Structures are given as structure tokens and as C-alpha cells.
Amino acid sequence: MALKDFILKYAPIVVQNVGISLYNTFLYSQRHKGRYKAYRDYYRRFETAAAPDVACEADRRLHEFLRAATQQSRWYGNHQGKSLHEFPILEKTQLLANMDSIRTMEEKDGIVSLTGGTTGASMKVIYAPHDMQERFALKDHFRARYGYSLGKKVAWFSGKSLVRPKDLLRGDVYRDDYINKIRFFSTFHISQQNFDAYWQAFCQFKPEYLVGFPSSVYDLCTMAEERNLKYDGSVTAFFPTAETVLPKYRETISRVLGCQVIDQYAASEGAPFILQCPSGSLHIHPLTGVFEVVDENLQAAEEGEILVTAFTTTGTPLIRYRIGDRIKLAPPSFKCACGSSFPVVEYIDGRTSDFIWSPENGKVNLGNISNCTKDVAGIVCFQVTQSEADSVSISVVANDQFTADQQQHFLDAMTLRLGKSVAVHLHLVQEIPREKSGKFRIVKNMLTPESMSPAALQRN
């Protein structure tokens, strides 16, 4: 057993906290080495640069990235001198199967990042150290616009499993990094039974910033509101990660904690960045890569799936990578009040598999599904699972306000979106487990692509 695992399993909490503090400090020092400082300056300088200067620099970066990839990656070896649109599209399955010929370096020379794919297969991507330094420099630059810097008090809600069963019995639901002033909350145990422990630890810590899963912070806020609790501290900003920020998350979290919710998009296998500006728009950062928006036939579109080319993936070059997320671009005439020339995205729609298939209505996306709870009383959280084209199963955690009337109301809203040909089965449950990654999923689509056609229904 590695020392780290041993400490996490057996050591007293205070020893674990010291270990976490030292380990984190070590990680930060790694990320802040090398080109980190230069990239902080770089991103600060280009934040306010004129549009032609940004375009020129974006071109230079693309050219340099493609040149290096074709020279160093076997997979791209015979594409030298091509322009971006002449490169093949890279599918997720290809990335998984051909990792060794795509990557440009050995694992030991890079930084390995593991991500859970939607298929359940986990993906391993290798970053060059300077890729990571650049990504962290941009992230820190972005957060600094909202006053954040390392050392300010942060409450973190991520998918790390930190808390043991015996800790839970004592109400220990977090770990502390004393040096960098970070409290890591477990996102696996936010429930009615454990609420008091979470709320007490949160209020006593009084974080200035929050980082992590929006669904977890939302759960905590909803439970506080149910109990008429007021938060008497003041959170400056919440930086959500990993999940789509639904409108109801944003509203509830701002209302309960009094903070701004500042969204970002940057998938862990290495997408370019989309960052929210102080005027509330989501801007593509053109110096981090290229987003091509395409329709179902992979032709250029205003709204649809994205193909990403990310300049910070020199260790595992991603060129026209079909990452599985969707965006809608704002009209080119739209000028953001913040003054930035960076292109604006109207919305980012999580993973493309986050939808329910309706033989009548086609894909019903996550946002529409989650809207079914509007004006329905008593739902704490719910999850829709679809294994057949003509039926879905919905698990609901509810309180006693979820009366027969309200249930009908909810089912009507669901049927309105899914169409009459989809049978809806409702189950009241005590709890809905999170995924292994710690993320909560509202929608679980288990259909194969073949079953998502109108003909599939007739076969049944």
C-alpha cells in the first residue's frame, strides 16, 4: 500500500490534514514552475489586446501547434503542411484505441490526467509539463479577475473520496489544507442526515470562494433553505467545475450564499477554454485553441456539436477532436459590454449523451428535462434513466409536499417533453447514488445509437 493510501485509510484526521496540506503545496509548486509566470503575463496582456493582434497570435499558435504535432506524433505524421480543415476528425474511440501512436511523450516525462469517459472506459491523457503550467496560468488569471488568489479561503466540492464511514458517524465531512486555506468537502455524503455537519463546517470556515460541482453546492443550499437557514458569511464567487450549470443551480446558489456564479468550460482531456466575463457572457478564449461548431452532417453551423483543437495538448495532440459537447454561438453582431473581442457563446450544453430520446420529439436535452420540476413542489432531486426507446424510469427523492397532485403535475410536464409514446415510470426513493467520479447525473441515457430511430419503436 502506498504511503498516501495508508494515511487516507488509517491515520487520524489531523495527520491527514497535515499530509494533504504538504501534498497540495507540493502540487502547487509544480504547477507554478517553468513557464507559469510567463503565461500569467501572456494572458494578462492579451486580455485587453486589439482584435487583429489576437487573431494574428491565434493563427501563430495554431500553425505552431499543428507543425509540432505532425513532427512529433506518429498518428499525425503524414499530415505535414496541411491546414486545420484538411485534418481528419478524431473520434473518442480512436483516441482510446490509438493513444500510443497519438501521444508525443512517455508517461514518465509528462503529467497523466485520467478522465471518466461517458462509455465508462476511463481515458488517460498525457500533458507536457508546460501544457499544465499554461492551463493553470490561464485558470488563475481568470479567477484573479474576480479577486481570487492562492491563500484566500476556499471551500472545495470535488469528486475525491476523503471521508471514511467512521468519520461520517462523528460528522467529519471534510479535510483541511492548513497551508493554502482550502477546506475539501466530500461530495458523496451531502444528505438530509448529514446536513447539519456540512452546514456547521461551512459556516464555521466562512470561505471567500467556492470551487467544485454545482449540483453538490446546490443540494446544500436547497437543504439550508428548506430549514429557513440564512448564511451570515459572504462568499465572493463560486467557480463551478465539471457539470453543466443549470439555471436553477445558479439562482438558488446566488440567493442562499449571495455570490456570483462564474462559469467555465475546460474538459480534463484537454479542451480549449470558454470563460465567463464580468458582464456575464461566455467567451471562447481564441489563444487556447479552436472550436469548430458542426451540425449532424459535420458541416459548419451556429449551433451543434463541437470539434476541438487545443493548443495545450502538445503531449497528446487533440486536433478536431469530437469531445461530445454542444454549444450555440452568439450572432457575430453581438458585442459584449465587457469590451472583449473574444467570440461569445450563447450556451454550452453538457455532454451530447445527456438527453432522453423521444421517438416523437427526437433528442430532449438536459435543460428541458430539468425544467420539468418548475412549479412542482416537493422534489429534492431526480434522475431519469432510459434503457428502451419507448420508456423511461424516473427516480425521485421528495419530501411530503410531493403529493399525488404534484406527482401528476411533474408527469404531465415530462410527457409534454417526451411525447405520448414514451411510458414514464416514477419511483420514490430515499437516495440517488452519484457516479464513481462523484458527479450527479440527472439524465442517464443507456440507448445504443441504433435504437434511437423512429423505426426502433415499431419493432417493439
The residues binding Zn ion (CB under 5 A) are 277, 279, 281, 336, 338, 340
Q: Cα(first)–Cα(last) distance of the chain, in Å?
A: 51
Residue 218 CB, shortest distance to Zn ion, in Å, is 25
Residue nearer to Zn ion on the CB measure, 53 or 109: 53
Residue nearer to Zn ion on the CB measure, 281 or 365: 281
Residue 347 CB, shortest distance to Zn ion, in Å, is 15
Residue 340 CB, shortest distance to Zn ion, in Å, is 5
In Å, how far from its chain's centre is CA 78?
34
Residue 275 CB, shortest distance to Zn ion, in Å, is 9
Residue 343 CB, shortest distance to Zn ion, in Å, is 10
Residue 200 CB, shortest distance to Zn ion, in Å, is 38
Cell of 234: 459572504
Residue 50 CB, shortest distance to Zn ion, in Å, is 16
Cell of 350: 453538457
Q: Tally Cβ neighbours within 10 Å of residue 431.
A: 12
Contacts of 137 (CB under 8 A, 6+ apart): 35, 36, 37, 39, 40, 42, 43
Residue 91 CB, shortest distance to Zn ion, in Å, is 33
Closest C-alpha among 251, 369, 272, 383 to residue 327: 272
Residue nearer to Zn ion on the CB measure, 345 or 442: 345
Residue 276 CB, shortest distance to Zn ion, in Å, is 8
Burial of residue 452, with CB atoms counted within 10 A of its CB: 0-12 exposed, 13-18 middle, 19 or more buried? middle
Residue nearer to Zn ion on the CB measure, 111 or 330: 330
Residue nearer to Zn ion on the CB measure, 281 or 383: 281
Residue nearer to Zn ion on the CB measure, 341 or 361: 341
Residue nearer to Zn ion on the CB measure, 70 or 340: 340
Closest C-alpha among 292, 262, 278, 277 to residue 342: 277
Residue nearer to Zn ion on the CB measure, 341 or 391: 341
What backbone torsions phi and psi does residue 212 show, to the nearest 5 degrees? 140, -160
Residue nearer to Zn ion on the CB measure, 81 or 331: 331
